């Protein structure tokens, strides 16, 4: 149980285009989902917290107009990187909070490698 999927796993796009990443909780409902960014050999940096049906809460320094987050259902959240630039290239990981285990446990997706050329 508590499986989270992401799609796509890898994406290459040209500078100036937009890219959408999907995060799905496959076998549980997730009222809260999180988006992280990870640079090579670095830890995960929280970008935003999204609650189903409401606006996402962004961390300080994260541009909400660049990283659009939508949490339209209890099993799906999307991250859209708008007008992507090479500095947006990174490993993006989502997670979902499940009440199946402990009250604060988060389960992570496999990640999406974004490369902007």
Partner 1 sequence: EDQVTQSPEALRLQEGESSSLNCSYTVSGLRGLFWYRQDPGKGPEFLFTLYSAGEEKEKERLKATLTKKESFLHITAPKPEDSATYLCAVFSNTDKLIFGTGTRLQVFP
CB atoms closer than 10 angstroms to residue 11: 17
The answer to whether 66 and 82 have CB atoms below 8 angstroms apart is: yes
CB atoms closer than 10 angstroms to residue 116: 20
- Which of 33, 106, 114, 116 is the binder for partner 1 (CB under 8 A)? 106
Where are any strands of DSSP class E within 1-117? 4-7, 10-13, 19-25, 32-38, 44-51, 57-58, 67-73, 76-81, 90-97, 106-108, 112-116
- Which of 15, 16, 27, 46 is the binder for partner 1 (CB under 8 A)? 46
Residue 93 in contact with partner 1, rule: CB under 8 A: yes
Q: Which range binds partner 1 by CB under 8 A, 14-22, 65-73, 74-82, 88-96? A: 88-96
Q: Which range binds partner 1 by CB under 8 A, 2-10, 12-20, 63-71, 78-86? A: 2-10
Binding site for partner 1 (CB under 8 A): 2, 4, 6, 34, 41-44, 46, 49, 91, 93, 95, 101-111, 113
């Amino acid at each position: 149980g508590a499986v989270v999927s992401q799609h796509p796993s890898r994406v290459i796009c040209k500078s100036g285009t937009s890219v959408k990443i999907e995060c799905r909780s496959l076998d549980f409902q997730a009222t809260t989902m999180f988006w992280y960014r990870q640079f090579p050999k670095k830890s995960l940096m929280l970008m935003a917290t999204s609650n189903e049906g409401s606006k996402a809460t962004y961390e300080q320094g994260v541009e909400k107009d660049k990283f659009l987050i939508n949490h339209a259902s209890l099993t799906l959240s999307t991250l859209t990187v708008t007008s992507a630039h090479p500095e947006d290239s990174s490993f993006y990981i989502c997670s979902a909070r499940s009440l199946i285990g402990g009250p604060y446990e988060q389960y992570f997706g496999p990640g999406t490698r974004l490369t902007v050329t």
